[in-house]
Amino acid sequence: MKRIFISFMLVLFLTACQSKFNEGDWQNEPDMRYGMVNDFINKHEPIGLTEQEVVDLLGEPEQRLEDPVVQYVYYLGRAGMGVDDSLFVLKFDEDEKLESHQVTHD
């Protein structure tokens, strides 16, 4: 019985760490984004999306950089021991299409 309980708690914990991407939750619950980012990448295969398509899915970024290339930065919540912020950085090419993305810790 104890093994079943421990197994159940482990599955529950692992499930809580990864969430399905949901546009509404992404846009309204920034602290939940870290758990959704991998599902977003797998579900939407974002490379090649236009800037507008990204905004339609993720909402306006917290930060938009334009030098040397256009980059959108989305806050994903606290990382590690709660000291650093996790960020989802998207870089666009000169045709306004997404060419790369990465999760960073600042």
Specify the CATH number for the domain of residue 57: 3.30.1450
* Digit-coded pLDDT (tens) for 39-81: 999 999 999 999 999 999 999 999 999 988 999 999 999 876 7
User: Is 106 or 26 the better-scoring residue by pLDDT?
Assistant: 26
Judged against a pLDDT cut of 60, whether residue 17 lies above it is answered with no
Reduce the DSSP state of residue 12 to 3 states and report it: helix
Identify the band that residue 11 occupies on the pLDDT scale cut at 50, 70 and 90.
very low
Provide the domain limits for residue 100. Answer: 2-105
Identify the band that residue 2 occupies on the pLDDT scale cut at 50, 70 and 90.
low
Domain count within the chain: 1
Give this prediction's pTM. Answer: 0.79
Spatial neighbors of 37 by CB under 8 A, at least 6 apart, are 21, 76, 88, 103
**69 and 19 Cβ atoms separated by less than 8 Å:** no
The average confidence (pLDDT) of the chain is: 86
